[in-house]
Amino acid sequence: MPERIVVPFGPQHPVLPEPIHLDLVLEDETVVEAVPSIGYIHRGLEQLVQKREFPEYVYVAERICGICSFMHALCYCQGVEHIMGIEVPDRARYLRTIWSECSRLHSHLLWLGLFADSMGFENLFMRSWQLRESVLDVLEDTTGGRVIQGTCKIGGVRRDIEPEKLGEMHRALDSFEEKCRDLTDVFLNDETVKYRLRGLGVVGKDAAYALGAVGPTVRASGVRVDLRETGYAAYGDLDFRPVVETTGDCYARCAVRAGELFTSIDLIRQAIDAMPDGPLDVKVKGMPDGEYFSRVEQPRGEVVHYLRGNGTKHLVRSRIRTPTLANIPMLVKMLPGAQLADVPVVVLSIDPCISCTER
């Protein structure tokens, strides 16, 4: 019988963009068990909700994670708006949608690059991040920030996008989409990539659903769950269908994220075409008194902000459930049976964000 050994994977590792920590139980080179450990970078951000006034906490929420920054702010603002009965102007809803999808584009392109790096495909890594730079340039041009946007506020948004700039963005989408197709063609059709990814880290539809996975991780196993279909922000006004794959392996998780690039491009086009006129925000009166579970679809999946107020300027409670936390049980299911050399690829396939998870 092969001898079992325990190999620590992370929190520091050349492949990992995030300090995830796993203890891998191996028999020879095969993983038989994976034991996750969290809490390495805990920052205590939820406690700050009792020390910062509720409009100020938006700035804390969007610093939970740099990549999902805008969507954390959006989720928090939506929660407070529901508690206080605030109706956001239509133009603000559409701008929130555009910035959300730009955030999804730059997150997925960042992930595609890191995923290529985990396979040793350095040229593909550079091409992915080169495309991501063009998205960050748009975010910087329209919000003032490349990673932390700071445009979402309770009651609306802080900045507008002028019609000329919207037209420029719309025209630029054609060439950007063509470049994305060239990039994703390599990820989906290159024989080396397919050989490395197909049949690796397989989790079926029933198991993925039972484990509570979210986002592209669960949609790659055939479960159609995407909160954009609930119609928050302006998604209810736009034509949208989630990207779903059925094989449940690393290749399928890559295919879902590749497909979502074009979904995001289409949603941005639709939002620009249908952009309404009107104010950007409404005046916020009173204090939040009540509780609400606010949910949005981040690039990695569903994020939940539970908020509770008692009629004062400080919320009583803020509790956040991030998509990576929901996907870690799925990761633990994927790893047994994989070779040690394939562990970085499997781990990266869920797009882990430990900054979000541990806060």
Binding residues for Mg(2+): 46, 320
Annotated binding site for Ni(2+), which residues? 65, 68, 353
Residue 11, exposed/middle/buried by CB under 10 A (0-12, 13-18, 19+)?
middle
Tokens in use for 277? Answer: 């006129």
Spacing of C-alpha 249 from chain mean position: 19
The answer to whether the beta carbons of residues 228 and 242 sit under 8 Å apart is: yes
Q: Contacts by 256-259 with C-beta closer than 8 Å and gap 24+?
A: 256/216, 256/219, 256/220, 257/108, 257/111, 257/112, 257/216, 257/351, 258/108, 258/112, 258/184, 258/187, 258/188
Sign of the dihedral through C-alpha 332, 334, 336, 341: negative
User: Which residues does the annotation place in the binding site for Fe cation?
Assistant: 68, 356
Residue 188 to residue 161: CA distance in whole angstroms: 35
Cis peptide before 11 (omega within 30 of 0): yes
The label of the residue with tokens 């055939």 reads: 222
Which residues belong to the annotated binding site?
A: 46, 65, 68, 320, 353, 356
* Joined tokens for residue 285: 């009166």
> Which residues neighbour 189 within 8 Å (Cβ) at sequence distance 6 or greater?
none
Separation of alpha carbons 13 and 344, rounded Å:
9
